[in-house]
Structure 1
Amino acid sequence: MFKKIVMFAATAATSLVLAGCAGGGAGSGNGAGGGTQAPADTRIGVSLPSQDEERWITDGKAIKEGLEKVGYQVDLQYANNDIPTQQQQVDQMLTQGADLLILAPLDGTALSPQLQQAASSNIPIVSYDRFVRNSADVDVYVTFDNFKVGAQQATSLLIGLGVLNKDGSEGSAKGPFNIELFGGSLDDNNATFVFNGGMSVLQKYIDNGTLVVKSGQNKLAQVATENWSQQKAQERMDNLLTASYSGGTAKLDGVLTPNDSVARGVITSLGNAGYGPTLSSQPKPMPVTTGQDAEVASVKFVNDDVQFSTVFKDTRALAAQTVKASQDLLAGKDPEVNDTKSYDNGSKIVPSFLVPIQPIYKDNIKSALIDSGYYTAEEVAAGRLQ
């Protein structure tokens, strides 16, 4: 069926997800994987967006180690946020005999020629955390529930403002609170899911006046952050503060920030404008900010009362599920999925596996991230991997 038929015992991959969640985390050398070894000449190409974000470095390490642990050869490439570079890298993977591709596309539609070439050679394709769009050639999508990520970010924002309690009940704070919204990169389909998830929670509070978006910018096209860039987020926050919050006429209370790199850009801008943690020397309290990915620098911010929350997406579990899906596809089997309705890429509904998420606040950093082995206490204290 495929260029190379690789048959595994039926039980070979059953422990992969558990293996990915046990032991070493972001800063460790333990990867996902386990079970029957693959033939040594089976090649898998892995294409990830960039090394600008800690999460992609962590993902790449976990995927590579997990695949190599079961015997695959792995060609891991980073596209440096450049679409032609990613296209060339995937072309090279195909030329060099890849038996399967794992792709996190910079632009969900930009790899169509490469996908067609792979499909014509019966090479399976796994869409990894970023959605491949307008193609019937992708076999499975392995990701986190990005709509729930956005909904959790919005819920955390409301908790930070006191509008909600952590148990979901109504809090004592009534507002009105001034907030601003930030979104991810428009060429990343996840940005739409995250933003829509956030607005599904916030819209009623905007409608009833509890929350006020003072800039008036409340559509994803208005609030998107190209490449999820920290610098671009800082620049936009600078502009928002100048346009809507200068002269002491209004106080910014919260910012819905879609991931940790955007949050750090927003926080840098706010710090430069005189906002800071309650116990700092800054004259204005830091607005409630959210995040995604639980990058260690932002976890330190949460621990230091600078950033209010982030969302933990355990890349160990995602990598383990990706290894399992790869083994299934190469064995000619249908990979495990838990969503067959949500992800229509314009050409087909892509069978998907959604890995669970977890909100991170100051009070659960230890239990969720340190005790699980994802980070060490020293890494959280330093804000960097060791």
Structure 2
Amino acid sequence: MRTRTTPTPPPHPAASVPRSRRALLRPAAVAALSVLLAASVTACGQEAKGGSRYHPASNKGATIGIAMPTKASERWIADGQNMAKQFQKAGYKTDLQYGDNQVDNQVAQIENMITKGDRLLVIAAIDGRALTDVLAHAHDQGIHVISYDRLILGTPYVDYYASFDNERVGKLQGQYILDKLGLEKPEKGGKSYNIELFAGSSDDNNTKYFWSGAMKVLKPYFDTGQLVVRSHQTAMNQAFTQQWDGGTAQKRMDDLLTKNYGTDTVDAVLSPYDGISIGVLSALKSAGYGSKGHPLPVVTGQDAELASVKSIIRGEQTQTIFKDTRKLAAQAVQMGNAVLNDKKPEVNNTTDYNNGKRLVPAYLLNPVSVDKSNTHLLVDEGYYTKKQLS
């Protein structure tokens, strides 16, 4: 029987060093180990904070990911292009993507931006509630996020929000209806008018702000009976227009007219967006509105899209809200440039935009009401040329 023997391990290198020299080595080894540990702790600390989030030098010439919802609306095309140009002018590269109003597309595009190492994401969300996981990934990679025009919900990983005062948009639309119908004039106290209400898409957080602003102005006149919703569809969830789609709005307006207006006429339509307004007007004209002796009702809108501005000039759509998206794009660029250089961006609202996980610091721009009397403002501001509006 063979006896197994345990091999003797080789001596530690220090064992061959005389005792006097070993004593001298210990302080040096301890010092080296301390340096290694300190470096390790520092590296871990940086990773926990999000890597290069706190190192502005590494963001010089960085790529900015710009995620827009769709090309179906001319305003989103303009927003994306304006931001890309302004970021490039500021010395950054850009990665501009449109999600075709498909949430999965937008999530995949943002994930790809993270994978490619984009250092900042500017996102106009298709569905503000659908980005929780992908933005957690962005945070893990140290990537800043600016929520653009539509507030991203349900995540703490949104740094800032750039938008317009969206409740004021609704107030301007509601007030315009009151003014055109003359409801605040004493002599109109006994007369009632028929109105129908449209809201935006249920997955867009701005929808509730537009609706809330309009209702603050209009509800007192519902209560007195001066404004009557003959369809009785007075709740926001009854008035949603998914994806802000004009065809969907046209079909609903057709149904409202068929079921609720025989010999009666509708006097006003609250529409939150120009694309919806165009659909509403198509239904109204099909029903005979706009012909001699049967005038079109007051129809509001938003975004001053070219087709709607031309419609206003022709006397069809009555009003729109002008939101100069060039200025909004510039504000987003200023915010992005600040955070990438470890500075605090300018904000003017830190109390009103709670996304369910945090109060998101915001900068809000002011919208402007436009009708036939002041469409020249769009030319004066260089938003359109005279030739475009002719």
Q: State the match for 1:173 in structure 2.
A: 188
For the structure 1 residues 331 and 172, does the alpha-carbon distance in structure 2 shift closer, same or farther, using more than 3 Å as the test?
A: farther
Are residues 1:378 and 2:387 paired?
yes
Q: State the match for 2:60 in structure 1.
A: 39
Q: Name the CA distance, whole Å, in 2 between partners of 1:229 and 1:343.
A: 26
**Higher RCO, Cα 8 Å, sep 6+:** 1
TM-score normalised by structure 2 residue count = 0.85
Say which of 254, 258, 268 aligns to 1:238: 254
RMSD: 1.4
Are residues 1:108 and 2:128 paired?
yes
1:61 CA drift (Å)? 1.2
After superposition, the C-alpha distances for 1:145-201 in whole angstroms (9 at most, x for unaligned) are 10000010001111121224xxxxx36434300000000001000000000100000
Q: Which amino acid aligns with 1:6?
A: P
Say which of 320, 327, 338 aligns to 1:317: 327
Q: Name the CA distance, whole Å, in 2 between partners of 1:77 and 1:365.
A: 31
Secondary structure in structure 2 of the residue aligned to 1:335:
coil
Any stretches of 5+ residues in structure 2 without a counterpart? 1-48
Q: State the match for 2:265 in structure 1.
A: 251
1:350 CA drift (Å)? 0.6
1:283 CA drift (Å)? 4.4
After superposition, the C-alpha distances for 1:251-310 in whole angstroms (9 at most, x for unaligned) are 11000000100111000100111001xxxx444110100001011111111111111110
Say which of 195, 203, 220 aligns to 1:187: 203
For the structure 1 residues 171 and 69, does the alpha-carbon distance in structure 2 shift closer, same or farther, using more than 3 Å as the test?
A: farther
1:3 CA drift (Å)? 2.2
Say which of 342, 349, 356 aligns to 1:339: 349
Secondary structure in structure 2 of the residue aligned to 1:47:
strand
Q: State the match for 2:56 in structure 1.
A: 6
- Map residues 1-386 of structure 1 onto 2, 5 A cutoff: 3=52, 5-6=55-56, 39-40=60-61, 42-164=62-184, 170=185, 172-174=187-189, 175-246=191-262, 248=263, 250-276=264-290, 281-366=291-376, 368-381=377-390
Secondary structure in structure 2 of the residue aligned to 1:363:
coil
Q: Name the CA distance, whole Å, in 2 between partners of 1:273 and 1:141.
A: 42
Any stretches of 5+ residues in structure 1 without a counterpart? 9-37, 165-169, 382-386
Q: Name the CA distance, whole Å, in 1 between partners of 2:386 and 2:186.
A: 32
**Quick check: 1:310–1:359 contact (8 Å CA) kept in 2?**
yes
Secondary structure in structure 1 of the residue aligned to 2:163:
strand
For the structure 1 residues 7 and 282, does the alpha-carbon distance in structure 2 shift closer, same or farther, using more than 3 Å as the test?
A: farther
After superposition, the C-alpha distances for 1:208-260 in whole angstroms (9 at most, x for unaligned) are 011001100011100010000000000100000011013x1x11100000010
Identity of aligned residues (%): 42
1:7 CA drift (Å)? 5.5
> Which one has a larger percent helix, Structure 1 or Structure 2?
2
Q: Flag the structure with larger Rg.
A: 2
